[in-house]
Structure formats: structure tokens, C-alpha cells
Structure 1
Amino acid sequence: MTLDATDRQIIEALQGGLPLVSTPYAAVAEQLGIAEDQLTERLAAMKASGVVRRIAAAPNHYKLGMTANGMTVWDVADDQITELGALIGALPFVTHCYERPRALPEWPYNLFAMVHGSSREEVEEKRARIKDILGDALRASDVLVSTRILKKTGLRLRKRG
């Protein structure tokens, strides 16, 4: 899909988040000078083509009391990573799950899963559940504990001209 000027304006208008009003799509459409149904149809087309992966709420987990967070990292058998990654990614307490290439010999991990908890013990309990699911495919693991929250944003298009 090739983005036209209107698609680009829609992405620029939404990349910082939806406005906190009762009819956010109507507000954005009005701002852009297009009909609300045109906005939603274009968003649906961009999502269907893969230009936009998802539209979702991104809560601040710290404000929700989830202050003990860890990126769990796993060295699992390559021939099982797709199946195992899908299982781990479907867990309700995993917010991000993805495959990454190893950087041998220093970094043997190829499966990453972000978990959040209200205590370090809760994160470790969740990590143990993942370990059980990985079973015999697991060769090594670790957890990288968050010490502070960094600015989290998605892709940002620069405004033209």
C-alpha cells in the first residue's frame, strides 16, 4: 500500500494517541477536514495492508501498580521457537514477546518476553510459569529487571514542509 497525503495526515494526527474525548475518531476527522467514516475506512485499509499493525490502549503499568518489571530472556531450540513464542505471547501477563537473533558467545538468548508485576516475587512466579511451558526446549534463561521507565513511543513520522 502506498500512503497518500491524507493517509499520512491521519498517521501524523494519531501517532501521539487518540484525543481523550467521547468521540475521538470524529474529533480527528474534523481536525483533518474529512468525514469520520472516511477516517475509519482508511485506518481499516492501512491495518489490513499492514501499514498500521494495531490501534490499542497503552496504559502506564507503573501507575497501575506494576512496578516490578522484567524482560525475561530464553535460549530455546530454534526449531521450536515459533510454536513456543506463540504460547508465551498468549499468556495474559506477557505484554511483549518476540524472537531476536543470538549474539554468541556472550548472548545466547533468542526468545524475549516482557512481564510485569507488583513485586519482584510476582515477576519470578510468572517467569517460573514460562519456564514450565518451555520445558525441554529451554537451555538457559535470565531476567533483566527494569530500574526505571523510559519514554515509550511508536514510530513517529516527521511532519512535512
Structure 2
Amino acid sequence: MKILLMLSACVLMVNACGKGGDHSVDDGGYHYTNDDERHSLYPRIRGDKYGATYTYERGDLEVYGGGSMNLDRDWEAEVGIEYRFRRSAQSPRFNVTLHVDPCSFLAYDLNRNGEFSKDELSAIFGKDEKANALFAGLDMDPSDGVITEEEFLAIGPLIIADCFNNEK
């Protein structure tokens, strides 16, 4: 029966068998691979059930089908198709402008714990010298490594340019 299933593989894969790719048998299956596609046939014998599964793969596409039948002629079949979507490295870029009040403490306190760290400031502005200089300018107590709301309200309006234009 297994020989019959392997011969069926060439019938199913007649297009692939005629091409000059690599043929192999491993993991209990027959495989044909060329530069951009792969065909696989796995014969199955489980108890009194005989069957096979055929898979065709090309890039992100996989098509499969198979079935089995027992000696009482009870049968089952399965077919399917899968496509794996991948994000393109050339996906479009978007310019996003957010308008927030630069004098609002909550604009900087991302985790809402009543203080913000250099990491929270870097998450907003990126890791650059200006973000580091802003943090250093706002941090009245450098030993704790955070800026509290009290520190921000005391120093922020003095060193953040847009705070001069607000009456807050």
C-alpha cells in the first residue's frame, strides 16, 4: 500500500516530477523542492486506515489536502489553504503630530505614578542630548533619578519655552 501511495505522489506531483529540482525521502514523506516551491507527500497507515497528505508551499502560500480510508470503506478528507501575511519592510511611513500641553505634568508621566523618569522622557522625545538636557534642567533632586510633579511645576514654566505663552 505504501508503494501505491508513493506512486500516487508522482501522479499528484506530475508537474513537479518533470522539473529539475531536488527529490528526497525523509520523515516518512516524499519531497520535491526547487528554487521557489516545495511539494510534500506523506503516506499514512494507522491501524486499518490508509491515507496520504499532500502539501504545496510557495512563498507565504501553503495548500494542503489529504484523506484516508479504512478496509470498511469509511473515509475522511481534509483540504485547506493558508497564507502567511508578513509586514513589508517597505510599508508606508506616517507622520504623526500630537498636540499636547508641554506644561502639563501628565504629558510626561506616562505610567501615572506621580513622577517621571528619564526613560519616560526618552519614550516621548527619543534618546538624544536635548531630552537629557531637559531632564537635567527639570530634576531638582538628581539623587532620586525622577522628576516629581512639584519639581516640574516649580521649574517647568521657567525652562519650557511654550509655558511663557500660557497663563497656567
Q: Same fold (TM over 0.5)?
A: no
Task: Report the structure, 1 or 2, having the larger strand content.
Answer: 2
TM-score interval, smaller chain: under 0.3
Larger Rg: 2
Query: TM-score, length-normalised on structure 1?
Result: 0.20
Task: Report the structure, 1 or 2, having the larger helix content.
Answer: 1
Larger RCO: 1 or 2 (CA < 8 Å, sep 6+): 1
